């Protein structure tokens, strides 16, 4: 079955308190169908949830000031990153890699200043992106009687490759990982290590369909029906590799 | 513009020496159009290029025997991984992470036994996947007078997330990275760190469109026209982060 991804045009600038599901329902150009997937840039979810920090009201601490100086960053911005981090993994070459409170390993704990009106504001990740996805799904069900999968996406860098790919940081109604381990390939041989990060591949596909200037933060994907589930499922937290299985983060942590 | 990814049905099992471009041209259900992208599972490219090793003819060395014992693997398979590796980064918990001769950081240097007929054979990555992509593109141009982008994909795991996503290991006719750094977002603010791994997102989108049992190794993507280039471009090697900029690989290397 062909996969199609199309940006949903015409969403307004999202304000804190906005009913995102209602805005999405209003912007859709045709009714949702069973098996549809909606991929939302995390920024609109964060904004609707009021997850915005005003830098002028942030008082940077000693560690933020030290890191900011070393990395050439705004100490107030670094303080927000520290507030959003469980641990800082690397602070080198102007890059701050942290583990967020959710367990995501990413640059700047996902704190982002782009696509935010007001030069003084930064957007932080939703507090519980899986819960956010479930709430939006539930509200859409109320409004439209349809039941799309909801994915909340952010752009993450990769340790060994240039550029960023969108990944899913929160989801509801999707099997985030498709497990082919133990199943057999077309020649009858067992597929040894095929465990597909479906939710991340969907986020990546969605990213290709929208304008990066932030004016198209929502994308509708059709053709991924087999991954869409009636129940909300385990969420994106199921994709976080536990620290005990991590072969890379442990070594040479940043020390201050 | 909507992005569409559809598997190309009906490709035969690929034999060494096969004219892959001719088989693709024959399998396409309608003529290629400008801006089309063809994403090929690396395995069919490797097979056509004869990049197959027969385990019964592999003589494992001391290091392969030691690693195999420690990881619970076939020493002949480990020897092939060593042959394909510039360096072994981690050998823990049954997992062998290496840097291939191309510079890719991945499990088992991309050596794979699934979807290979003959229980004794393993497929290794193409020697120069960018050159492979250029050759296939050039041959398709000869046969069809059209000029699609060619991407060669493999499934890579991620250090901090479960599951694998398809990424591009070789390409021609595509801008693999789209650089928005220094450009401005919808509110006029500079986009600070937006550097999109377009070729990897395309590989991920393609992976969603095909059956994972290996019977649909080629996918046609439409709607990514703005990334398709008349010239072959820098290839997937442009996406490899140079070792000097790598914050993670250096530490705690595997020692034998």
According to the model, what pLDDT value does residue A185 have?
Answer: 66
According to the model, what pLDDT value does residue A129 have?
Answer: 98
Count CB atoms within 10 A of the CB of residue B181.
10
According to the model, what pLDDT value does residue A193 have?
Answer: 62
According to the model, what pLDDT value does residue A192 have?
Answer: 60
Residue count of chain A, please give it: 256
User: pLDDT, tens digit, for every residue of A104-150?
Assistant: 999 999 998 776 666 689 999 999 999 999 999 999 999 999 999 99
State the best of B3, B184, B215 to mutate against chain A, taking most chain A CBs within 10 Å. Answer: B3
Q: Residue A172 CA to chain centroid, in angstroms?
A: 13
Q: For residue B221, what is the enclosing H or E element?
A: strand B218-222
Q: Does A201 touch chain B (CB under 8 A)?
A: yes
C-alpha distance from A122 to closest chain B C-alpha (Å): 12
According to the model, what pLDDT value does residue B253 have?
Answer: 40
Residues of chain A with pLDDT under 50: 252-256
Q: Write the burial class of residue B161 (CB in 10 Å: 0-12 exposed, 13-18 middle, 19+ buried).
A: buried
Residue count of chain B, please give it: 256
Q: Half-sphere exposure of residue B232, counting CA atoms within 13 Å on the CB side?
A: 17
According to the model, what pLDDT value does residue A223 have?
Answer: 97
C-alpha distance from B119 to closest chain A C-alpha (Å): 8
| Phi and psi at residue A53, to the nearest 5° | -115, 140
Q: How far apart are CA B117 and CA B249, in angstroms?
A: 35
The mean predicted confidence, pLDDT, of chain B is 91
According to the model, what pLDDT value does residue B252 have?
Answer: 47
According to the model, what pLDDT value does residue A187 have?
Answer: 66
Q: Write the burial class of residue A25 (CB in 10 Å: 0-12 exposed, 13-18 middle, 19+ buried).
A: middle
Q: Does A98 touch chain B (CB under 8 A)?
A: no
Structure tokens at B4: 């569409």
Q: What is the ipTM of this complex?
A: 0.94
According to the model, what pLDDT value does residue B190 have?
Answer: 65
CB-based contacts of A242: which residues, under 8 Å, 6+ apart?
A: none
- The torsion region of residue A159 among left (phi > 0), alpha (psi -120 to 50) and beta comes to alpha
Q: How far apart are CA A206 and CA A220, in angstroms?
A: 8
Q: Which of B5, B92, B197 sits opposite A247 (nearest CB)?
A: B92
Q: Which comes out higher in pLDDT, residue B46 or A187?
A: B46
Q: How far apart are CA B220 and CA A86, in angstroms?
A: 42
According to the model, what pLDDT value does residue A87 have?
Answer: 93
User: pLDDT, tens digit, for every residue of B77-123?
Assistant: 999 999 999 999 999 888 899 999 999 999 999 998 776 666 689 99
User: pLDDT, tens digit, for every residue of B7-28?
Assistant: 999 999 999 999 999 999 999 9
Structure tokens at A21: 């599901």
Q: How far apart are CA B55 and CA B59, in angstroms?
A: 8
The whole-model pTM stands at: 0.95
Hey, which bits of chain A come out as E strands? 3-7, 37-41, 52-54, 85-92, 95-100, 105-107, 121-123, 149-157, 164-172, 178-179, 195-196, 218-222
Structure tokens at A256: 């201050």
According to the model, what pLDDT value does residue B215 have?
Answer: 80
Q: How far apart are CA A171 and CA A236, in angstroms?
A: 6
Check B116 against A197: CB less than 8 A apart.
Answer: no
According to the model, what pLDDT value does residue A246 have?
Answer: 83
Q: Which of B4, B245, B251 sits opposite A251 (nearest CB)?
A: B251
Q: Does B159 touch chain A (CB under 8 A)?
A: yes
């Amino acid at each position: 079955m062909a996969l199609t991804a199309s940006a949903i045009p015409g969403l307004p600038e999202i304000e804190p308190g906005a009913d995102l599901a209602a805005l999405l329902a209003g912007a859709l150009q045709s009714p949702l169908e069973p098996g549809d997937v909606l991929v939302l840039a995390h920024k609109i979810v964060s904004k609707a949830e009021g997850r915005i920090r005003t830098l002028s009201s942030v008082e940077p601490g000693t560690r933020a000031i030290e890191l900011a100086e070393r990395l050439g960053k705004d100490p107030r911005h670094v303080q927000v990153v520290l507030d959003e981090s469980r641990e800082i993994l690397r602070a080198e070459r102007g890059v701050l890699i942290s583990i967020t409170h959710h367990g995501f390993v990413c640059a700047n704990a996902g704190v982002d200043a782009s696509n935010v009106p007001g030069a003084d504001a930064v957007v932080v990740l939703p507090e519980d992106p899986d819960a956010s996805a479930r709430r939006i799904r539930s509200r859409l069900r109320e409004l439209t009687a349809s039941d799309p999968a909801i994915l909340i996406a952010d752009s993450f860098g990769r340790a060994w490759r240039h550029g960023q790919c969108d990944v899913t940081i929160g989801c509801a109604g999707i099997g985030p990982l498709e497990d082919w381990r133990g199943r057999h390939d077309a020649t009858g041989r067992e597929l040894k290590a095929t465990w597909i990060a479906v939710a991340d591949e969907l986020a990546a596909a969605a990213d290709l369909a929208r304008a990066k200037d932030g004016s198209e933060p929502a994308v509708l994907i059709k053709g991924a029906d087999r991954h869409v589930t009636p129940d909300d499922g385990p969420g994106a937290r199921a994709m976080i590799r536990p620290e005990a299985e991590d072969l890379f983060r442990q070594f040479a942590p940043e020390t201050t």
